[in-house]
Structures are given as C-alpha cells and as structure tokens.
Structure 1
C-alpha cells in the first residue's frame, strides 16, 4: 500500500532569457556612480509601504477582535 517515491528528472532546457541589469539613467551617472539620494528615496518608499501594510494588518486584527467580542457579548 506504499507508493514509491521516484525522482522525476526533466531533460527540458530552460528557455528563460538571461538576467540583465536595467539601465536607469537616474540611478547611474555617466561616471558609473550611484546617487545616494535616489537610494535613500527608494529606502524611504519601501519603509512607507511596509508601515502601511503593517497598519492594515493591525487594523484588520483589531476589527476581528472587536467583531468576535461583539458576537460573544450577546
């Protein structure tokens, strides 16, 4: 009644395009340097998005607790 575990081997060649770095003229200047202000702005945006996501989860959790408490109080 036991099923044997067989390793499936695929001989198909992966047809994904090679990884390339996008050339953004904002990030890299002609001398090959990266502007620190652009990096700081990107970090701030990511932190704001993370904070917003956390606030949504906290709000949903508090709403759930409130609704469950309301239901149990009756």
Structure 2
C-alpha cells in the first residue's frame, strides 16, 4: 500500500490574527489592573452558577414529571 500526501493549495485562506487594543486591561507601563481581572473572574463564576442552577432545575423537573407518571 502506498501513502499519498495531501498538499493543501489554499494555505493562506485565514485572515491574520489581530491583537485587541484594550487600553483598560494593560496600562502604559505594561501592568494589568487587578480589578479588571477580579471582575472577569466574578463574571465567570456567575455564569457557572447560572449553569448549575439550570441543570438543577432540569433535574428537579425531570424527577417531578417521572413521579407524576409513575403515580398513575
């Protein structure tokens, strides 16, 4: 069996990556503001909490529905 190499002729289809210019994240001295990092961490934590509450609600709803079906 022979193996063939597939050569892509379209290597540069993607646009070049750009660095975002967020002046509030990095100051002119190259330091990062701790308050911005804390706010970002809080947002992630809130999102995880919401996700957990949604899954807990779905599980409780499923148990309720199964209980109703089994009771008849």
TM-score when normalising by structure 2: 0.82
Q: 1:34-73 counterparts in 2 under 5 A?
A: 34-73=32-71
Residues matched between the structures, number = 69
* 4+ runs deviating over 4 angstroms: none
Cα 1:68–1:28, aligned 2, differ >3 Å: closer, same or farther? same
Distance, in Å, in 1 between the alignment partners of 2:66 and 2:5 is: 48
Question: Quick one: distance in 2 between partners of 1:54 and 1:7?
Answer: 48
Structure 1 equivalent of residue 6 of structure 2: 9
TM-score, scaled relative to structure 1:
0.80
5+ residue gaps, structure 2, are: none
Unaligned runs of 5+ in 1: 1-5
| In 1, Cα distance between equivalents of 2:21 and 2:11 | 28
User: How many angstroms does 1:67 deviate by?
Assistant: 0.5
Q: Summarize deviations over 1:25-70 as a string: whole Å, max 9, x none.
A: 1101111111011001100101001111110011011101110111
CA RMSD across the alignment: 2.0
